[in-house]
Amino acid sequence: MPESPEDRPIRILHTADWHLGREFHGADLTEAHRHFFDWLAGQIEDRRVDLVIMAGDIFDRALPPAASVGLLNEQLARLSELCEIALIAGNHDSMQRLSFGPLLKPGVHLDSG
């Protein structure tokens, strides 16, 4: 008999320090970040995660490249279809940037940390 949502504990996946927009010795890490998001989506599905907590340093700097903001927007749309998402701003993050309209979607929650 499958367990009902009321009978199982909440499953939380905690992550931090994505540093979107970062370069490594001049190399763009966007594709590496895309692979990470693919892995994360797989973990959410395989482990039946209810909530992902992203605890800070989402971006590498307060004013990230537009491509990094676009990547986050795209991935939040994807991940929020799988579970609830809680974003907590870190010292590298700008609350104004994180609370920008398109980034906040149903199922995505933001806290200033």
Q: What confidence tens digit (pLDDT) does each residue in 76-101 have?
A: 999 999 999 998 877 656 655 555 55
pTM check: above 0.85 = no
Task: Report the percentage of the chain scoring pLDDT > 70.
Answer: 79
Look at residue 51 in the predicted model and tell me its pLDDT.
Answer: 96
Look at residue 31 in the predicted model and tell me its pLDDT.
Answer: 92
Look at residue 111 in the predicted model and tell me its pLDDT.
Answer: 64
Are 84 and 53 in contact by the 8 Å Cβ rule? The answer is no
Closest Cα partner for 58 from 72, 44, 46, 40? Answer: 72
Residue 3: band (very low, low, confident or very high) from pLDDT cuts 50, 70, 90? low
* Structure tokens given for 72: 């986050």
Answer whether residue 39 shows pLDDT above 70: yes
Q: Give the helix, strand, coil percentages of the chain, each rounded to 5.
A: 35, 20, 40
Q: What distances in angstroms separate CA 15 from CA 6, 25, 26, 85, one per listed residue?
A: 25, 24, 25, 11
In the chain the domains, ranked by start, together with CATH numbers, are 5-111 (3.60.21.10)
